[in-house]
Structure 1
Amino acid sequence: MTRIGTDMHAGADAGPGPATATATAPSAQVEQLLDAVRQGRRGDVPGLLKALDAAGHKAAVPELKRLRKEVRGWDWGRWREQQRVRGALRLAGAGCITGAAGAAEWIGGRDFQEWGNEGGAVLGVLAHRDHAWLTEVARRLAERPTLAEEEYGLVHGLVLLTGCPAPATDAYVRGWTADMSRRNLVASLRQDPQTPVLVPRLLDLTETPDAVAWQSAAGSEDQRSHWPSALAALAGEGLLDRAELVDACVARLLRGGRPRDLRLPLALLQVVGATEEERRARIPDWLGMVADGPSPVAAHAQEVLAGLALDGALPVRELAEMSGSVLFRTEKKLVRAQLTLLSKVLRQAPGAAAELLPVVMDAFGHEDTAIQERALKLVGRHLAGVDEQVREELAGAAVLLSPVHRAAAVELFGAAAEGDALPYEEVLPPVPEPRTVAPTAGSIAELIEDLVTVVRRPGEPEEFERALDGLVRHAHGDRAALTTAVRETFGDAHWMNGGDHFAYGPQGIMVVIAALTGTARVSRIADGRRRGTASCGHAGPTGVVEARLWEAAWLVASSAPVPFLLATPTLHTGAIDAPVLVERLREYRDAGVEPAPVDLAQALLRVRRSGPGVSAAAEGAAALGTRAGERLAAWLTADVSLAPGVRFLDRGPDIRSGRWWLADRVVVAFRERRTIREEFPPPFQWLGGESTEVARRCRHWSGQHPHWPGVLPQDRETLAVWLLPEVGNGSEWDARGSAWGLTPLAEGEGPVGPAVHVALAVGLGGRHAEDRLTAVDALLVLAARGGLDAAALGGRLGLLLAEGTVKPNRLADASRTAAATGAYGTVWSVLGVLLPGLLAAPKPPRGLGELLAVAAECVERCGAGGTLPGLAEAAARAGSSQAVVQARRLLSALGQGADQTAS
């Protein structure tokens, strides 16, 4: 290391006198500091900093910056040393940099935060600084989103050193709440002078800190750990202004958000309470919460408004507005409570019927027929108090009622409630047309934009395919320009700075980018290309995707001997139009280029083998006179469905959980296909395996899942087998987003068999509503395309319900959603198959009533008739449970239609 501040000529003849010592001492002291930093001796840094004067501090800064840049470039093999050096670097820079802005920037550096929290040591080297300087550093650090939270102690220490006001930034507040939550809450808040300043900011946060959200839940309301109770206690003591707390809570609840983020203001508002005057003054606020708030918030606002209404303090106009908002909501508890409130108010003030009854008709279209019945009875009791115009309006809304209530509506309103009797017509979505994929980037600048997108968001198949083809195309056309552009864009990425970053896989498209610039080891790429067939069916599609990446890396590393990739899809499903592939092979022939093996194999698996133009494409491929053309022609004309045989085992005992998970019970029989075993590269040969059963009991995990549908877009059954364990995670493990694969299954090509129907059945029972909605969309698309086997789906659902993999209430929600689109006949054709098994169970399963309600609605709408085994016995049972009531309703509905057996 070059010594800093040493004059090699000054005093050369003067001897070792005092002047020489004065000239060289700062340089030696700086060197000692830098040596300590290089060796990671963090404990020595504070003492060495004290020995430096202002000139020494200034001289050390450039060297510290150079060392910091050097340390950033160290590879993973030196990470322990890197962490030690970074800790010492942070302290040294904090003690040497003189500007407040520069010091805050240095202390808050992301690379230093990774090292760990040493806030006490940093405070030690800053303690001697001027208070104004420290205040500015504290302000700047508090504005850094992660540092002020993760190193709250450092920023708070600066606040205590200077006596400056608490910086009420979001990050500082989160750090403060975490610190408070680890102590006796009410005592700590009482003693902390920051509390009056930071509590209003806490209530204003968009996202409540985890510790506060957890400690605001209902249950133990010990002031030592329960935030709402602790804040209410401080308000009672006068430390916090109660009226300001109420204002803050109401304002936050009106803004809305996730229930967890509203837990604190709601609980605090309930504990602190609002006075009668505050309740009346905030009627518009309560109305807003009732209309748009999450269920707990809406329920509280409804309770407040109900009290005002029964006391005569809520004007009828506002009560009507409130009722319209609540009756439009889906929560049955809120709707029932509102109908009860309206009934009480109308008994007190019959003259309000003309203004209140019209909003009651919003409940006529509620999904729960019991609520419809209550609303109709409420209208009937007070119908005499309205004029003819309101009566006609209510009669017109009666068409929203379920057919089971039509007779009562006609009795109440007369013939006007019958509406126009139109013949039933099944409504299914339009059949989706394949969408053409955008062409590959025509310029290097456009390609770089695509690469940045794929690196940041690697799960988008269309963008991935365009970027992969673009790398090969432009590496073949102008390798030098592309390499320069890639280095400028990705030069700081860790996978571009040496080291063996691809030892465990290609890491997506990054291996191809690194191969272009020469930073990916050629030996590693060669090893990747030599990998053989997959060890199991689950790992198969991932092996294909990775094989394509390794091959593309080899192509660009060897100056891209091919002008473009054959396997780039032309359609969003991952498929390739046959004429396009023929034309690509023609260009290869004319250029004298042989296809890359993996690329050609993937192209064959993607080419569309049915539809217009396929026969002509096969003839054109054969006429090319190349081996690749002959293979394509044979592939297009042969029956090469890759769909495996699939069996599903009955649930059996499992030592760990008492049952087998869905993935354990799928057995796949891969049929022998000599063409694939003899002509395809090793990563594909598992598709042509011998006729032996392969149990799917592996536990592979791969980030390549989004690319699986594009591996075999013509064979949905095989894809369904791969995706089934992940779809099952949504019902068995409550995973979110697990049903994404059902969309390509519905929109793809190839036969639809048992695997697709099992995957769909499991998806309809997913834990999360968004996954069930995805499954509903897939169900309707399959039905619209004529690929749905209702009997097979209903039978599989019956088995899954019986064994507990699918829960009745979740299936009921999905079925209700599908039926509401107008597909009543389709939904009934499925429910009519699965219900007999549930009705025959010794004990009716929980949620059976909901399924029967959906089935009854479907039958009433589509006019189906016939008999359903076990239904009459269920309807004859004593009691008024939902299962019994809905069984009677379904039995009645089936008797009204034509003679059509459900099965």
Structure 2
Amino acid sequence: MTETTTAVEELLGAVRAGACAKVPGLLAGLDADARKAALPKLSELRKEVRGWNWERWNEQREIRRALRVAGAGCHTGPAAAAAWIGARDLSDWGESTVDGVLQVLADRESAWLANVAQRLAERPSVAEDEYRLVHTLVVRSGCPVPTTEAYLRGWSRTLTNGRLLDRLREDPQTPVLVPYVLALAETPDRLTWSAGPEDPGHWPTALKALAEEGLLDRTALVDGCVSRLLRGGRPRDLRFPLALLRLLGTTDEERRSRVPDWLGMAADAPSPVAAYAQEVLAELALGGGLGVRELAEMSGAVLFRSEKKLVRAQLTLLGKALRRDPGAAADLLPVVTDAFGHEDTTVQERALALVGRHLKDVADERVREELAGAAELLSPVHRTAAAELFGLAAPADDLPYVEVLPPVPERRPVAPAAGTVAELMEDLVSVERNPYESVEEFERALDGVVRLAHLDRETLAAAVREAFAGAYWMEHRDHVSRSSQGVLTVLAALVGAVRPQQLDIARRRPSGTPSCAHEALTRVIDVRAWEAAWLVATAAPLPFLLATPTHHTGAIDPPVLVERLREYRDAGVEPLPVDLAQSLLRVRKADPSAAEAAADAAALGTRAGARLADWLSADESLAPGLRFLERGRDKRSGQWWLADRLVVAMRERRAIRDEFPPAFQWLGGSPTETVRGCGYYHWSGLRPLWPGVLPDDRETLAAWLLPTLAGGAEWEERGAAWGLTALAEGDGPVGPAVHLALAVGLGCRHVEDRLTAVDALLVLASRGELDPSLLAARLAVFVADGTVKPNRLADAARTAAATGAYATVRAVLLGLLPSVLAAPKPVHGAGELLAVAAECVERSGGSGEVAGLAELAARRGATQLVTQARRLAVALGQRTGHTAPEAA
């Protein structure tokens, strides 16, 4: 054995022992040829270690550290060295190997180090998490400072501490990197963490000080801030440039030269940025630096915004401008009318009053006609005052009101399963990328696999092996222990990656009473996948699946299911238990053809046909009873969780308990069996498929989706209301559970979730299935216990009413308001609910008494609560001692 071979083996022994500290010394004794000879062996060891399981994690980690240092020293090419150093499997997300890597690279040339530094700066996992490594290489090589996002984040994180100003002043990179940090789309966390300007780690204050010292170019900073604010983004990412711009201030010249920029921010930027731009433009307008046309352009954009504070400030600015220059009324007043359509009637009132004060300064008759025409945008409460102002006829109040509701959505038919292997592979590739995007795609793919496996199993299996070679689920053996992977489990069984015996055990496994709704619905989908996987693994003679839906909701038309059972009978095959049970839960019992289909099913002369006939003829409902436990406070958060208090009491259905597979037997529980709603967050990729389990029984589905919906709403999870669309478009009667789910959805935090709930409300109303009094009662409970916040509910109600459903929203809100007004303490946001209710009554008509409204309306003061109470009382014809609000 040569001396070189011995030295290489000694190095490998140290690496295998995880002796990272010894590696630099051993490498120092190796020449270029020896290092080149060591590389293949290091790569083999790296591959071996990568395949170890978690039980050898500690040993694996130490060896990887040593491998990183050894490989960095052995590579002679900068590209290969950077790839080795930056590899994720060799990094432990810390600095444990930084000193070792720097030590073994100490003798390299500057150009080589510069090349490695630039390559590592482009790797986020290294440049940010191991900034010191890249920075040291930059300093050693003398190369230009990297400006990659990862390097900038690492730099900002390293500097941020109590000595921020001193460290920025001492770092020669500061003048180079600050403009790039300012331009980042996502502001580094450290730049937004400080408590305020007094905090020694406050970046805007430090940068302002450096600008005053001349270390940073103040003009360049201002330009950078304005440019970043114009690009827009999340409010958190604009906080830093906005704070810096406020501290730096702007000169008269800077304000005048950037008028288009300020106008853009005032129109489209998030509220804090728009407010700052509005302040700058207001100074210009009142100082003579903003022309009338520019002020009109600004006002048109700001008055179109929904933020009341910005709109009120703009109306105030317009009032001052018109007092200074009455001749501008013809140009500015038409813009003021943009506020006539604002959702807040007090804003409308202020805008109308402003027009009334300056209408005398408008001589052009065409402008006056334009102003009068805009009065149609006003709420009915202000139209009488507007008619008097413009000398118009009083608005007619005897026109019949017409409720506008969306058309009843039609059921979309599910396209037939793929007829060829090539077509099926396209579907399967799409499903693999988004395994559970919709019931329709999942079921088409599942049925397509079963159909083509029945026709030519070997060809399909070969195509799957070729298309998905190397896919993790092809080698992953754990498809049956806890949960399935849907269609992917079926494909794994098709190619022999899962043993049929395992699948048979999984599909027959007793399930018992589920602990929560998540487990119950997910279990059904898992067992269905296991059964289909067992079918293709054993090549059983089934030509297709019974439960494949005919509509996008997951429902099956009764005649279609009868015909499928007839084909089974003619082929001499028996249905699979889970497939048959799922098909019964999906068949549309309310379909007009159900009675005839029941007779046809009974005439088949098969056990499955008899079960379908009995199922279609049964009047019993699966809908469970719902109740709430006494409110119990969570020990950690101090809050009450609706999901924790929800209890589902199942109705006894002997047919389900005796004839359905174990995964479905929770639906036939006795009245004494209850299932608590799950108060914990469970993520499940199968969640979009849950509605397809019970598309013909919305009440039961709603009961089982409620814990997920309630938990998502209370934890303010985005996408919490995802299940409401299925509840609105599905089959079966609508009762307490659906209305309960809708009430929760209307109070969700995120706008898109409230829009989903509004769509569901309108669909139910258009189908004649909405009970406003029942929904109001549910909302009253949730508003009282804080589950639904009134301001969010008001936003949802306003959105629904704006579609033309004023009478529907009026009925719900008038049923809710008595409980809100009777609360021991004033309910925050009640004024907004009163405003929406008043708008609905004014537009759709109606009269009557709302308990507590007259007393509230008779109070002194001009708060929104009292003002809107008076407005609603007048609209309803209640006596309050006050007249309708007057404008102008």
Superposed CA deviations along residues 389-443 of structure 1, whole A, max 9, x for unmatched, are 1110000000111111111111100126748975321111111111122333344
Query: Residue 893 of structure 1 corresponds to which residue in structure 2?
Result: 875
Q: Is residue 766–residue 806 contact of structure 1 (8 Å, CA) maintained in 2?
A: yes
Q: Which residue of 1 aligns with 2:66?
A: 88
- Structure 1's 95 and 531: CA in aligned 2 closer, same or farther, altered over 3 A? farther
User: Residue 692 of structure 2 is aligned with which of 689, 695, 710?
Assistant: 710
The separation in 1 between residues aligned to 2:419 and 2:5, in whole angstroms, is 57
- Return the match for 2:298 from 310, 319, 322: 322
Seen in structure 2, the aligned counterparts of structure 1 residues 358 and 179 have a Cα distance that, compared at 3 Å, is: same
The alignment partner of 2:604 has SS state of coil
Mapped to 1, the partners of 2:445 and 2:479 lie a distance apart of 21
The alpha carbon displacement at 1:896 in A equals: 9.3
When residues 827 and 382 of structure 1 are mapped into structure 2, their CA distance, relative to the original with a 3 A threshold, is: same
| 1:59 equivalent in structure 2 | 37
Indicate the RMSD between aligned Cα atoms, in angstroms. 2.4
756, 759, 764: which one aligns with 1:777: 759
CA spacing shift, 1:490–1:224, aligned 2, 3 Å: farther
2:128 is the counterpart of 1:149 = yes
Moved more, 493-502 or 802-811: 493-502
What letter is aligned with 1:809?
N
Q: What is the CA–CA distance in structure 2 between the aligned matches of 1:354 and 1:272, rounded to whole Å?
A: 38
Matches within 5 A, 1:824-839: 824-839=806-821
Residue 380 of structure 2 corresponds to residue 403 of structure 1: yes
Pairing of 1:522-537 with structure 2 (within 5 A): 524-529=502-507, 530-536=509-515
What residue is the counterpart of 1:7 in the other structure? none
Q: How do 1:119-518 and structure 2 match up within 5 A?
A: 119-182=98-161, 184-215=163-194, 219-222=195-198, 224-386=200-362, 387-415=364-392, 418=395, 422-461=399-438, 462-497=440-475, 500=478, 503-518=481-496
Q: Which moved more, 1:517-526 or 1:251-260?
A: 517-526
Other structure's SS at 2:327 match: helix
> 2:391 is aligned with what amino acid?
G
Which SS does the other structure have where 1:667 is aligned?
strand
CA deviation map 1:204-234 (0-9, x unaligned): 111112222333xxx4213621111111111
Unaligned runs of 5+ in 2: 880-888
Establish whether residue 546 from structure 1 lines up as the match of residue 522 from structure 2. Answer: no
Shift of 1:677: 0.9
**Cα distance, 1:87 vs structure 2:** 2.7
Superposition deviation, residue 485 in structure 1: 4.0
Residues 689 and 213 of structure 1, relative CA distance in 2, 3 Å threshold: same
User: d(CA) in 2 for partners of 1:419 and 1:872?
Assistant: 27
CA distance 1:447–1:147, shift in 2 (3 Å): farther
The alpha-carbon deviation at position 236 of structure 1 amounts to 1.1
Question: What aligned pairs does 1:594-633 form with structure 2 within 5 A after superposition?
Answer: 594-633=574-613
1:852 Cα deviation from its structure 2 partner: 0.7
Amino acid at match of 1:718: T
Deviations 1:805-834 (A, max 9, x none): 222111111111111111110000001111
2:827 corresponds to 1:850 = no
Using structure 1 for the length normalisation, give the TM-score: 0.92
The percent of aligned pairs where both chains have the same amino acid is 67
Q: Report the alpha carbon displacement of residue 177 of structure 1 after superposing the two structures with TM.
A: 1.5
Query: Which of 854, 868, 872 is matched with 1:872 structurally?
Result: 854
* Structure 1 counterpart of 2:574, one-letter code: E
Secondary structure of 2:512's aligned partner: coil
What do the CA deviations read for 1:758-777 (whole angstroms, capped 9, x no partner)? 11111111122222121111
Matched, 1:107 2:85: yes
Q: In the alignment, what sits opposite 1:766?
A: 748
Q: What is the SS of the residue equivalent to 1:430?
A: coil
Q: Which of the residues 665, 676, 687 maps onto 2:667?
A: 687
CA distance in 1, matches of 2:737, 2:785: 18
Query: Is 1:437–1:569's contact at 8 Å kept on the other side of the alignment?
Result: yes
How far apart, CA to CA, are the structure 2 residues paired with 1:621 and 1:720?
29
Residues 169-207 of structure 1 deviation map (CA, whole Å, 9 limit, x = unaligned): 112112211222246221221111111111111111111
Name 1:3's counterpart in structure 2: none
Are 1:672 and 2:672 matched, yes or no?
A: no
Bigger mean CA deviation after superposition, 602-611 or 236-245: 602-611
Q: Distance in 2 between matches of 1:554 and 1:818?
A: 48
3-state SS of paired residue (2:128): helix
Give the match's secondary structure for 2:627: strand
Task: Report what 1:12 is aligned to.
Answer: none
The AA in structure 2 aligned to 1:365 is G
State the TM-score, normalized to the length of structure 2.
0.93
Which range is displaced more, 398-407 or 436-445?
Answer: 436-445
The one of 819, 822, 828 aligned to 2:801: 819
- The letter of the residue matching 2:862 is S
Structure 2: how far apart are the matches of 1:330 and 1:680? 54
Aligned-partner Cα distance in 2 for 1:877–1:606? 56
Higher relative contact order (CA 8 A, sep 6+): 2
Cα distance in 2, alignment partners of residues 553 and 248 from structure 1: 59
Q: 1:389 to 1:329 in 2, by over 3 A?
A: same
Cα distance change, pair 127–515 in 1 and its aligned pair in 2 (3 A): farther
Secondary structure of the corresponding residue to residue 647 of structure 2: strand
2-side partners of 1:848 and 1:540: how far apart? 39
| Structure 2 contact 557–591 (Cα < 8 Å) conserved | no
State how far apart, in whole Å, the 2-side matches of 1:500 and 1:842 are: 56
Which one is further off, 657-666 or 288-297? 657-666
Alpha carbons 1:196, 1:240 under 8 Å: kept: yes
Paired residues, number: 872
Amino acid in structure 2 at the alignment position of 1:321: E
SS at match of 1:692: coil
Give the aligned residue type for 1:184: R
> Structure 1: how far apart are the matches of 2:614 and 2:739?
31
Of residues 681, 701, 705 in structure 2, which corresponds to 1:723?
705
Could you tell me which residue of structure 2 aligns to residue 804 of structure 1? 786
1:860 paired to 2:836? no
In 2, distance between residues paired with 1:284 and 1:208?
Answer: 25
Q: Provide Cα deviations, 1:541-592, integer angstroms capped at 9, x if missing partner.
A: 1211121122233223323543332222222111122233233333333433
1:685 offset after TM fit, Å?
0.5
CA contact (8 A) 1:863 1:896 kept: no
Distance 1:499 1:646, change over 3 A: closer
Q: Distance between the aligned counterparts of 2:372 and 2:723, measured in 1?
A: 46
Deviation at 1:469?
2.8
Look up the match of 2:884: none
Give distance in 1, aligned partners of 2:18 and 2:249. 57
Aligned CA distance change for structure 1 residues 699 and 331 (closer, same or farther; 3 Å) = closer
8 Å CA contact retained: 2:454, 2:541:
yes
What's the secondary structure of 1:415's corresponding residue?
coil
**In the aligned structure 2, how far is the partner of 1:404 from the partner of 1:143?**
62
**Aligned AA (1:168):** T
Mapped partners of 1:511, 1:90: distance in 2: 38
Q: Distance in 2 between matches of 1:174 and 1:508?
A: 40
CA distance in 2, matches of 1:42, 1:494: 32
Deviation of 1:838 after TM superposition, in Å, equals 1.9
Structure 1: gaps spanning 5 or more residues: 1-20, 898-903
Task: Tell me the distance in 1 between the aligned counterparts of 2:536 and 2:63.
Answer: 38
